[in-house]
A and B are shown apart, each in its own frame.
Chain A
Amino acid sequence: MKRTHTFPAHLDQLTAISTLIKNAALTLPAADPDMFAYEIELAVHEACVNIIEHTNSDTITVETLTEATSIQITLIDQGVAFDPAVVPVPDLSIPQEGGYGLFLIHQLMDSTTYHTRDGKNYLILQKSIVQELCNGN
């Protein structure tokens, strides 16, 4: 099932976006549904915070595609593009006052892809319950 919602790119929209993502993720028969949904919720939350704080986009469009064993979330913004490859990985031995967002997204999701097309930035996040079982989580 595919659904699309567009939100103003403001921090006060984060709870609404989280609720949307959590409800979509909970429809999958994961071994640990609450943890599965929370990990996706947190990853999408971190991605949305990055969009709100760093791209100057007016809106965030959230597309959720749920299938039998996986969920794909596409976040679309019309702000400043960025290159995820240049974002440094945080040194976890030294606590930092920032810089964990992208690291968390990569840790929490099975795959993360980013591209820009026609003035829009697309961040595609995917997670499978099959992968969850393979990882023993």
Chain B
Amino acid sequence: MEINIFEKTLRMGVITLIGRVDAFSVAKLDEQFDALFNGGFSEFVVDLSAVEFLDSAGIARLVTLLKRARLAGGDVRLVWPKLETAQRILKLTKFDRVFQMMETAGEPIQLTVQAQ
């Protein structure tokens, strides 16, 4: 059990997105997601804290990641954007209820340590 949790922690991919996450830029994410899944990752933290603008194409990619992760037995957590403006779309679409939201990307490791 400890080994599994340890493995899970090691296999937790933290994806940090910075700046504009929109229909023009999201194509870059697909390759990154493929590489992470091919590398055996199924648990992800997507750190949106430095995101300045997030559109519906951006949140659609988060859903794609969530579905792929859950099919692989994992999950996706999101770190809130620091800017209240960039948080707006997550609240309007109620994505903050679909995903587990965190204040910082450091929380999953702290949670795992407490679970041990």
Contact = CB atoms under 8 A, between A and B. Distances in A.
Interface of A is mostly: helix
Interface size band for B = 20 to 34
A133 to B, nearest CB: 18
A49 interface: yes
B20 A15 contact: yes
Interface string B68-86: 0000000000000000111
Contact of A104 (B23, B56, B85, B86): B56
A135 to B, nearest CB: 14
Contacts of A98: 56, 60
Interface in B30-67: 53, 55-57, 59-60, 63-64, 66-67
25 contacts: A15-B20, A15-B24, A34-B85, A35-B85, A38-B53, A41-B53, A42-B53, A45-B53, A46-B55, A46-B56, A49-B22, A49-B23, A49-B55, A49-B57, A53-B23, A92-B93, A93-B94, A95-B63, A95-B95, A95-B98, A96-B60, A98-B56, A100-B60, A104-B93, A107-B92
